[in-house]
Structure 1
């Protein structure tokens, strides 16, 4: 008889701190049925990893509200690398990965450091009198948007357009979406698609060193190219996934560091730990908590069989606190060397932007350590009310000592 769980993922106490709830569920069974969601949930690293890697569990796009017209929102998902399986996924990933391989991450490395420093200047100005500064609004949110804008070649006067579009679209990945949120997501999708079509048209006639130009130029071994809809969708995915994940790793991670002062001090004393610290930030408080798949045939996962057409969700936050894989999983350890977290996914859907995300996170953390060694929490961070995409709305801090 399969184990069922009644864990309410959107309950305030779960959103606030899901990890004790995951641990209690993990003691019962590695995979459990959730009647309210109508899907299986995984609570261990092994079962989540299996969900992400098993080919008979597909990422199959279907409108959640088939009676609600959302043509632009649907367009940016039907053609997405994330929402397709082989052979379409194989073709898309080959072309996108080849375009990324043209040196865009290394090209952006010094620019990311420059942007982080420029934003740190704003933080320093705002907090110079000892006042409270919101590190999310002034630093964590703008940085990944600016990096993605640089990557795509979006002109600086248009940077302010991107974050509202992304914020409206990603609300659709939660549960309990309102009519107003659906309308806002479709409007944002439509405006973003229109903007990107114009950008693609411009890059076709005037190529630059940006990723859009590389995506346009890339061909596979059979001479195939990305269609315009696939180009637009890829750019949208990079913004939504890249922005949301990075801002939430910074927000969740700096919150963890400032409530574990010994770990903040370890980084101040030994900057060589920044790379392992970034991986621990992702593991300790995962920015993406849930990733759905659908069985295309009856598929065993753990001790259950996921029947064809049934959904199963990998709970990434639960996987990343599994004591079988991570000794003392609830401890926050910036020097944790053996860290096979699932924060970037696994299998064929492993995040294609992971190298760029790591550059952003390493630069972001290094800049904070260098510029604001006496950074302190002014009050408890305000957590976002969503479960799937986990982050904080605001991170009130003081700079205390004079920044270097």
Structure 2
């Protein structure tokens, strides 16, 4: 019989800052472990690679959609619907189950095809060069400069804005809206504060994209919004304007924050490892392997949640119908059964397929785009500034939802 564990250490300040010792303890329990729903809300925690892959592909385990939240509250007007941030998230493709999930996902996925992502490469390089110029300007004379504010946050906003069709002059506004909106899913007692900020951001993002849709409908351009409006008008895509708004918000946030923290995480990992940094500069063709190891070693999005639509089990751990399982993607990426010496940063490890973008029907739409941003940005940054160094200890986010940094002060000379 497996020991029932508790998540209090993971949800503590230290656990949020560094969850990997907790994950190592979990791996000694096997692939999954039972929890006490009265204490931790979830019936099970799933942390092994094989177990997570099963859960993510099993239609018995469903995303926490609006219908599921409604039945939890048993009231005419569920309280969660009074929070605009939660309502927007739950209407987006990221929180839909079949059949609506594929109806909405199919037209969106066309924007992230391999061909479309490859076409964006010149624009990505142009945006990287522009941000590197600004980093050089602000860091002249050895002045410390915040790498996150100067490059890691604005670059993904530029790139996803380019794809979606957000005018360049508006993109600097998005980082201040995206992070509060996304943090409403952070577990723990501070969630009320995140909800208040997230609701405000959701209202402003909804108003912005509603206006932008009207503008593109009147004057189409070569961007995702115009393409989706054309598909809507022709009947090849079935979604309302309200669904389009919530999915544009969701796409911007999903395509933004994962890349932000992957870039920051990648920089700190390489600055701590001079030999790896030198190899990447000398052999930029190794960039894809380095990016995969960065995503594995310091996973930007640490977890997701699924609920069981019927009585089932995960690797022998029972999950009753209607209960939830906490799925730790970051732990899967440190599973010693899947990755020998999981706590060693090793870009040359074979078969390095990470769980950072999930698997199955909800595999991240923007995975290829996020990878390309990292593959281009890190070598360009380190070649441009061979003396780039930390100017002090980075400030961590101390979140479980997103694992990364608030600030990374660097000097470039």
Question: Is the TM value for this pair above 0.5?
Answer: yes
Matches within 5 A, 1:184-203: 184-203=197-216
Provide closer, same or farther for how the CA distance between residues 330 and 200 of structure 1 changes in structure 2, counting only shifts above 3 A: same
> C-alpha separation between the residues in 2 aligned to 1:394 and 1:99?
31
The superposition leaves residues 109-147 of structure 1 with CA deviations (integer Å, 9 ceiling, x where unpaired) of: 111111111111111112221122211111101101111
Q: What is the DSSP-based 3-state SS (H/G/I as helix, E as strand, rest coil) of the residue aligned with 1:172?
A: helix
Q: Show the 5 A alignment for 1:180-259.
A: 180-218=193-231, 223-259=236-272
Judge conservation of contact 1:288–1:343 (CA < 8 Å) in 2. Answer: yes
Cα deviation 1:12-47 (Å, max 9, x = unaligned): 221222112211221123212333322111121111
8 Å contact kept, 2:306–2:326: yes
- Alignment partner of 1:33 is 2:26: no
User: Structure 1 regions of 5+ residues with no counterpart?
Assistant: none
The aligned residue for residue 378 of structure 1 is 391
CA-to-aligned-CA distance 1:142-164 (integer Å, 9 cap, x gap): 10111111112112222232111
Q: Does 1:302 align with 2:299?
A: no
Whole-angstrom CA distance in 1 between matches of 2:293 and 2:257: 18
Aligned runs of 1:171-182 on 2, under 5 Å? Answer: 171-175=183-187, 176-182=189-195
1:321 aligns with 2:339: no
* Mapping 1:383-402, distance limit 5 Å: 383-400=396-413
Map 1:313-352 → 2, pairs under 5 A: 313-352=326-365
**Alignment TM-score, normalising by the size of structure 2:** 0.91
CA drift at 1:206? 1.0
- The Cα shift of 1:337 comes to 3.8
Question: Does the aligned pair in 1 maintain the 2:114–2:368 contact within 8 Å?
Answer: no
Secondary structure of the residue that 1:366 maps to in structure 2? helix
Paired residues in the alignment total: 400
Give the superposed CA RMSD.
Answer: 2.1
Report the Cα offset of residue 231 of structure 1: 1.0
Question: 3-state SS of the aligned residue for 1:324?
Answer: coil
Q: Which sits farther off after the overlay, 337-346 or 172-181?
A: 172-181
> Is residue 52 of structure 1 aligned with residue 56 of structure 2?
yes
Q: Helix, strand or coil for the counterpart of 1:32? A: strand
Q: Distance in 2 between matches of 1:53 and 1:109?
A: 31
Specify the alignment match of 1:6 in structure 2.
6
CA 1:366–1:279: 2 relative to 1, 3 Å: same
Give how far 1:79 is off. 2.2
Q: Deviations over 1:189-243 (max 9, x none)?
A: 1111111011111111211111111111226997443211221122111111111
Is structure 2 residue 156 aligned with structure 1 residue 144?
yes
Please identify which structure carries the higher helix content: 2
Shift of 1:184: 1.6
Q: Deviations over 1:39-83 (max 9, x none)?
A: 111121111112211110000224599436535324422321111
Please name the residue that 1:84 is paired with.
96
Cross-structure match for 1:118: 130
Structure 1, 133-142 or 55-64: larger mean CA deviation: 55-64
Structure 2: which 5+ runs fail to align? Answer: none
Structure-2 residue corresponding to 1:21: 22
- Kept after mapping to 1: 8 A contact 2:288/2:375: yes
Q: Deviations over 1:232-265 (max 9, x none)?
A: 1221111111111001111112111111222111
Following the alignment from structure 1 to structure 2, what is the Cα–Cα distance between the partners of residues 58 and 114? 40
Distance 2:146 2:59 in 1: 43
